[in-house]
Structure 1
Amino acid sequence: MRKFLLLCVAISCVACGSDPIPKPKAMLRLEYPQPRYKKVDISLPFTFEKNEVADPITNIKLDGINNLYGVNINYPKLKGTVYLTYKKVKNNNLTDLLRDAQNLTQKHTMKADEIEGDIYENPEHKVFGMFYEVGGNAASQSQFYVTDSINHFLVGSLYFYAKPNYDSIYPAAVYLKNDIKHIMETIEWKTN
């Protein structure tokens, strides 16, 4: 019996020769398709390109009195929507429109870790504006506005269908941020 116990101890010492290695921290790996963009030219005062991953645009809300249009670009697989709101610049209301767009972004400062703004200019198409990236558990991760400073003003915001948890929505937020920037870069105003 003693020899059997010695043999078991010897085998267990030899069998466990390597040191234990802790498992590395895992990261959620979400892969999204390479974006393919298609021009959207519908009954709006502007055109733009949207990712084909998004649903076709079917719901345009119009308030003809105020020259106000609302367009939703839905991404069901990413559980998010980009909301676009167009307003006509008139009666020297550009300052008010700019202030409202900037205040919309600043409302997220209570939950946001940071808000970074990038100026956007495309003199060739007369599109000028600002893109905001909101970090942290804010309700909206990306917002923008663009204008030609004379006739057109467009505001856009990204919202997800879930409680904001920045770690969980980060990959989708980055993917859609690039789509929003592409929308900004491809806007062309229609002539009146």
Structure 2
Amino acid sequence: MVLFLTATACQQTFTPKPRGYFEIPLPKKEYKVFDEPGYPYTFEYPAYGKIVKDTVFFDAKPENPYWINLEFPDFNSKIYLSYKTIGGANSIEQLVNDAFRLTYKHTYKAEFINERSIETPNNVFGLFYDVGGNAASAKQFFATDSTRHFLRGALYFYAAPNADSLAPVIRFLQEDMEHLAGTLKWR
């Protein structure tokens, strides 16, 4: 009798749980216009994002007052937007090379980097970078009119870069970055 109780008492029903990630609720796509006086550009950005003036650049003051960040508190992420005027030390070749260099710094973690052209009727040209894998910045772009204006954007998350778990949010915010670049206008 004791043997029977011992043999049956330790049996448990085990149910394996599938691997998965938490579902991330994504808001409805709605856009607002960034059209602040004095800024050399205007664009549409998502209503669930918040524009914040960039006040610190690696513990120093930003190069100019037109650097802003588009923050997404619900996704613990941010798109850094840095603007430069073309001319002098900021030649178009130098700015494009810098954008290329900053994107390709991620090659040690990236599985791939794809480039896509940006060209809009608003005299905006540039490249959009898709950085695959567990890179720190999965989406980047630069946009210019090639004579006066240069804007660079980079998406970062304040979390460990895990391409699988971040994929739905990265795709969602990629649409917003593409919309921003597509509605960008120079002043």
TM-score, structure 1 as length reference? 0.79
CA distance in 1, matches of 2:102, 2:25: 31
Equivalent residues of 2:21, 2:165 under 8 A apart: no
CA distance in 2, matches of 1:168, 1:23: 17
1:90 aligns with 2:87: yes
Give the 5 Å matches for 1:125-164: 125-164=122-161
Q: 2:34 aligns with which of 40, 46, 49?
A: 40
Q: Larger Cα Rg: Structure 1 or Structure 2?
A: 1
- 1:61 to partner: Cα distance: 4.5
- 1:132 to partner: Cα distance: 0.4
The corresponding residue for 1:9 is none
Equivalent residues of 1:61, 1:69 under 8 A apart: no
- 1:29 to partner: Cα distance: 3.0
Runs of 4+ in 1 over 2 A off after TM superposition: 22-31, 66-69
The corresponding residue for 1:54 is 49
Q: Any idea what the Cα deviations from partners look like across 1:11-70, whole Å, max 9, x if unmatched?
A: xxxxxxxxxxx8776564323012100110013100000101112x242449xxx65631
Amino acid at match of 2:110: A
Please state whether the residue corresponding to 1:140 is helix, strand or coil: coil
- 1:72 to partner: Cα distance: 0.6
The corresponding residue for 1:115 is 113
CA distance in 2, matches of 1:187, 1:176: 16
- 1:166 to partner: Cα distance: 1.0
Give % identity.
42
RMSD: 2.5
TM-score, structure 2 as length reference? 0.81
Amino acid at match of 1:54: G
Equivalent residues of 1:140, 1:157 under 8 A apart: yes
Amino acid at match of 1:37: Y
Structure 1 alignment gaps of length 5 or more = 1-21
Greater mean deviation of Cα atoms: 23-32 or 36-45? 23-32
Amino acid at match of 1:94: I
Please state whether the residue corresponding to 1:38 is helix, strand or coil: strand
Structure 2 alignment gaps of length 5 or more = 1-15, 57-62
Please state whether the residue corresponding to 1:104 is helix, strand or coil: helix
The corresponding residue for 1:189 is 186
Equivalent residues of 1:68, 1:88 under 8 A apart: no
CA distance in 2, matches of 1:186, 1:159: 21
